[in-house]
């Protein structure tokens, strides 16, 4: 059960990171991130900011669902972590490559923990 709690905590933390990145992109995107030509998909930072905020909320909902032991929480968590990792790939070439790699690694740990140790939820909450 420890890996699932770890995954829930980590996906919630990744959600908070996504929300912070989204708020920074909306408020000070051009100053903080640099020109939009440094990212894989060229669209405004305000649009990216809102995408990150919605992904962050999705990740936090997934964390609570997983922590409560819902079986569908595993599916939501894997989907949310996958979407979060994919969204961070878009920023690998920019000035925040380290931040993107950090969030991608966090999401990969979450996916691994849920996929490998997800059946522990059945035993614990059955």
Spatial contact of 41 and 90, defined as CB atoms under 8 Å apart = yes
> What range does the domain containing 49 cover?
2-125
Nearest Cα residue to 107 out of 5, 10, 25: 10
The domain tally of the chain equals 1
Size of the chain, expressed as the number of residues it contains = 126
Q: Pick the residue with more confidence: 36 or 69?
A: 69
* pLDDT tens sequence across 22-49: 898 888 766 555 555 555 566 777 888 8
* pLDDT tens sequence across 77-101: 899 889 888 878 877 776 677 878 8
């Amino acid at each position: 059960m420890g890996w699932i709690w770890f995954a829930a905590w980590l996906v919630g933390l990744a959600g908070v990171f996504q929300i912070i990145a989204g708020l920074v992109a909306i408020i000070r995107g051009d100053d903080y991130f640099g020109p939009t030509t440094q990212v894989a998909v060229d669209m405004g930072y305000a649009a990216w900011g809102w995408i990150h905020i919605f992904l962050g909320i999705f990740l936090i909902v997934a964390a609570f669902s997983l922590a409560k032991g819902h079986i569908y929480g595993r599916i939501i968590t894997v989907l949310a972590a996958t979407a979060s990792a994919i969204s961070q790939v878009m920023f690998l070439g920019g000035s925040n490559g380290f931040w993107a790699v950090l969030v991608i690694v966090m999401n990969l740990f979450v996916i691994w923990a849920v996929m490998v140790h997800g059946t522990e939820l059945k035993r614990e909450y059955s």
